[in-house]
Amino acid sequence: MELLALEPPGRGASLLYGFLNSVTVAFGAFGLGLLIGICGAYGKLYGGPVARDLWAIYTTLVRAIPDLVLVLIIFYAGTDLINQSLEAIGLGPIDIGGIPAGIGVLGVVQGAYATEVLRGAILGIPQGQIEAARAYGMPPALLLRRITIPAMLPFAIPGLANLWLIATKDTALLALIGVNELTQMARNAGSAEKSYFTFFIAAGALYLVLTLVSNVIIARIERRVRRGMPSMAGAH
């Protein structure tokens, strides 16, 4: 209640607005990263030599370069490359919105880590299941939907859950490129009211709530996908 008393009218709404933007970007980036990860995992496991090398370069570069540097490189260099390409075909430059830009930037980062998480999960599947489906002539898309994804989920959930939590925190990096996410809104409010401590504590509390709620949901999902499998406690 003390924090609310110190907060002027309208500032709480601005923090909630930033929080919703952060959650939106995190969901979008996680989903985009998941799609890239599925393609990357399949490319590294079953692609030809060129595809495997390209995916290996992508995952190595993204995991080697700090996320902050990647965000700046992808946003500024990527925007410039898109506009130069548009100008080359006679079109004018475009102004990419903050949320789509944030989703794209963080999605590329998430994709590299998701590739390795899903690759490891696919390797955990008994290969006899995949070989049997192929022997029956199951198309690759149907094999992915009916065999690979359901079988790999129990192995992938812990890693994907960690990537989701990383995505929620990495949204704070987007403040550097002007996206109105939670950290940016907290900084703006703190600057206007000369009370950085109050607003950053409030922002931290919102991040904590998001993490706690995420942990509850993730635990339920993990219990659901592991139904019928031995518990970790039983394994010991």
How many whole angstroms separate alpha carbon 230 and alpha carbon 234? Answer: 6
How many whole angstroms separate alpha carbon 228 and alpha carbon 66? Answer: 40
pLDDT of residue 77: 82
| 157: Cβ contacts below 8 Å, ≥ 6 apart | 218, 221, 222, 225
For residue 11, give both structure tokens: 């500032």
pLDDT tops 70 at residue 235: no
pTM: 0.83
Which amino acid is located at 18 in the chain? G
More confident residue, 114 or 153: 114
How many whole angstroms separate alpha carbon 38 and alpha carbon 227? Answer: 23
**Percentage of residues of the chain with pLDDT beyond 90:** 39
Token match 């990647």: residue? 70
Mean pLDDT of 59-88: 86
- Round the average pLDDT of the chain to a whole number and report it: 84
Q: Torsion angle, CA of 188/207/161/26, rounded to 10 degrees?
A: -30
| Secondary structure E strands in 2-83 | none
pLDDT tops 70 at residue 41: yes
Mean pLDDT of 19-34: 94
How many whole angstroms separate alpha carbon 30 and alpha carbon 13? Answer: 25
pLDDT of residue 6: 37
pLDDT of residue 95: 74
Domains of the chain in start order, with CATH, are 21-181 (1.10.3720.10)
More confident residue, 73 or 113: 113
R_g (Cα) of the chain, nearest Å: 21
pLDDT of residue 166: 94
Q: ∠ at Cα 207 (156, 183), nearest 5°? A: 120
Contact 15, 189 (CB under 8 A): yes
DSSP helix/strand/coil, 227: coil
Q: What is the pLDDT of residues 160-217, one digit of tens each?
A: 999 999 999 999 988 888 888 888 888 888 888 788 888 899 999 999 999 999 999 9
231 pLDDT band (50/70/90 cuts)? low
107 pLDDT band (50/70/90 cuts)? very high
**Percentage of residues of the chain with pLDDT beyond 70:** 92
Phi–psi pair at 230, nearest 5 degrees: -65, 140
